[in-house]
């Protein structure tokens, strides 16, 4: 029994050793550039363009977000979600029961004021002026008669035909007539002034009543909310007969033909943009580009903490895939390196000191070679020096778990070999 067990163990050890040797030879072959853990890439000449990049979300330049400003009830909703509306089209109406009576009362006040104004212009003025005119005419006639009589008696007195007492009596009558004429003139002027003032007062009261009526009608009209933009009813939050609270959302109307990107830009990036400039806008969700035109750049920076930025408004060309809220990125060319040696960014590795290098083959060994890099567009990197056009470099491939185990076994064998040699 002991001999049998010994033979079994010996056989198992031999199989394990053979397996390890096979694995070691396979990995050694892999590490000698069989292509399993390195991918070849050839340096090529190309143009590399760098960009300024501005990100943000799509929004509508023209939209109407309606919220409640009073605690009122929605009486009627005239539209449905998805309806196309034009400026001035009724959207919904709020309850008007609290202001209908105000309109009726204001209308009654206007009618009363109109009657008073008409009376002030006609019968009231006529009665006052007619009486004053009559009194003034009588006073004028009495004055004229007294004046004529005084002139006649003065002549008679000078001829000795009448006594002084008779002349003095005529003078007294004349003086009284003149005084009465002056009083009648004052009364007439006062009557005219009073009548005019009454007309002005009545007119002011009528104007005031009309203004109150107009205000009441405006308040009534304000209860019917109309579209302020041409667009689509994108969302209806409220229902008919719902009692609103202040700041409750009611409805949104959006003009989907005026979609824009409002991007934050650094002050040093402002020179790259100008009003009317066309830029490429990348839509990440659909992996596509659309054109956009810069329509506005804010004149004043916005500050958030230690950061300051400006807002650039970019109007987007119409596209069926554009949706409000989508994340997009606008790119503006910055610099172009023409016909330069380049590698993909994956081919460039970096030391802990951030010094770039590539892997090149020397015989059966893989060596690091320091390179100098220039512009990059994110995909390709300009190689200023270190690699020639057409030269092959090698990109380390990420190993699977099984391959990592092979590497560990290989390293253990290498360590064991070094120890035996020492």
**CATH code at position 163:** 1.10.287.620
pLDDT higher for 260 or 140? 260
Residues 101 and 218 in one domain: yes
Residues 112 and 205 in one domain: yes
Burial class, 13, CB count within 10 angstroms (exposed 0-12 / middle 13-18 / buried 19+): exposed
pLDDT at 410 over 60: no
pLDDT at 68 over 70: yes
What is the Cα gyration radius of the chain?
52
pLDDT at 242 over 80: yes
CA distance 315 to 260: 4
> 346 in a domain, yes or no?
yes
Residues 135 and 189 in one domain: yes
Residues 22 and 127 in one domain: no
What is the average per-residue pLDDT within 195-207? 78
pLDDT for res 318: 85
CATH at 257: 2.40.30.170
CA distance 70 to 249: 12
CA angle 174, 177, 180 (to 5 degrees): 150
Residues 188 and 206 in one domain: yes
Order the strands of the 231-236 sheet from edge to edge. 63-67, 249-254, 231-236, 84-85
CATH at 341: 2.40.420.20
Work out how many domains the chain is built from and give that number.
Answer: 3
> 244 in a domain, yes or no?
no
Residues 192 and 257 in one domain: no
Confidence of residue 200 (pLDDT cuts 50, 70, 90): confident
pLDDT, tens digit, for every residue of 316-350?
A: 998 888 888 899 999 888 888 999 999 999 999 99
pLDDT at 216 over 90: no
pLDDT for res 386: 95
Query: If phi over 0 gives left and psi between -120 and 50 gives alpha, with beta otherwise, what is residue 386?
Result: left
């Amino acid at each position: 029994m002991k001999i049998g067990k010994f033979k079994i163990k010996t056989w198992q050890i031999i199989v394990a050793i053979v397996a390890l040797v096979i694995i070691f030879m396979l990995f050694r072959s892999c590490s000698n550039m069989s292509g399993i853990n390195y991918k070849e890439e050839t340096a090529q000449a190309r143009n590399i363009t760098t960009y300024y990049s501005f990100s943000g979300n799509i929004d509508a330049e023209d939209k109407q977000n309606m919220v409640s400003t009073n605690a009122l009830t929605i009486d009627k909703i005239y539209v449905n979600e998805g309806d196309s509306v034009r400026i001035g089209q009724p959207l919904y109406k709020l309850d008007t029961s609290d202001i209908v009576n105000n309109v009726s009362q204001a209308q009654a006040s206007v009618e009363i004021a109109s009657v008073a104004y008409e009376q002030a212009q006609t019968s009231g003025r006529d009665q006052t002026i007619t009486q004053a005119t009559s009194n003034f005419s009588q006073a004028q006639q009495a004055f004229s008669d007294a004046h004529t009589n005084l002139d006649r008696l003065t002549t008679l007195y000078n001829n000795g035909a009448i006594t002084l007492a008779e002349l003095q009596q005529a003078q007294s009558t004349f003086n009284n007539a003149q005084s009465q004429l002056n009083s009648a003139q004052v009364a007439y002027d006062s009557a005219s002034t009073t009548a005019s003032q009454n007309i002005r007062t009545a007119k002011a009261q009528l104007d005031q009543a009309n203004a109150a009526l107009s205000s009441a009608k405006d308040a009534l009209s304000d209860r019917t909310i109309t579209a302020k933009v041409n667009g689509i009813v994108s969302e209806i939050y409220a229902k008919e007969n719902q009692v609103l609270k202040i700041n409750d959302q009611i409805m949104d109307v959006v003009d989907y033909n005026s979609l824009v990107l409002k991007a934050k830009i650094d002050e040093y990036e402002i020179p790259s943009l100008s009003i009317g400039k066309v830029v490429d806008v990348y839509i990440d969700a659909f992996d596509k580009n659309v054109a956009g035109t810069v329509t506005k750049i804010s004149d004043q920076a916005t500050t958030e903490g230690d950061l300051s930025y400006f807002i650039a408004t970019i109007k987007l060309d119409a596209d069926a895939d554009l949706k409000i809220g989508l994340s997009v990125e606008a790119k503006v060319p910055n610099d172009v390196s023409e016909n330069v040696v380049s590698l993909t960014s994956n081919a460039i590795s970096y030391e802990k000191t951030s010094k770039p290098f590539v892997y090149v083959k020397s015989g059966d060994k893989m060596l690091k070679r320091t390179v100098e890099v220039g512009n990059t567009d994110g995909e390709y990197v300009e190689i200023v020096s270190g690699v020639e056009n057409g030269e092959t470099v090698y990109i380390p491939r990420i190993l699977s778990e099984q391959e990592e185990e092979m590497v560990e076994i290989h390293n253990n064998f290498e360590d064991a070999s070094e120890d035996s040699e020492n």
